[in-house]
Amino acid sequence: MSGLSSPKKLALNAAFIIICIGILIFLLRAPKETTSPLPHDDIHNRFHAMKGKKEAEQYCLDCHGPEKEAPLPADHPPKYRCLFCHKRQ
Q: Where does this chain bind ligand HEC (CB under 6 A)?
A: 34-36, 38-39, 41, 43-44, 47, 56-57, 59-64, 69-70, 72-73, 76-86
Of residues 3 and 73, the one with the C-beta less far from ligand HEC: 73
Burial of 3-30, coded b for 16+ CB within 10 Å and e otherwise, reads eeeeeeeeeeeeeeeeeeeeeeeeeeee
In the bound complex, what is the minimum distance in angstroms from residue 53's beta carbon to ligand HEC?
8
Of residues 27 and 63, the one with the C-beta less far from ligand HEC: 63
Of residues 1 and 74, the one with the C-beta less far from ligand HEC: 74
In the bound complex, what is the minimum distance in angstroms from residue 67's beta carbon to ligand HEC?
13
Alpha-carbon dihedral sign for residues 17, 77, 64, 56: negative
C-alpha span between 27 and 6 (Å, rounded): 32
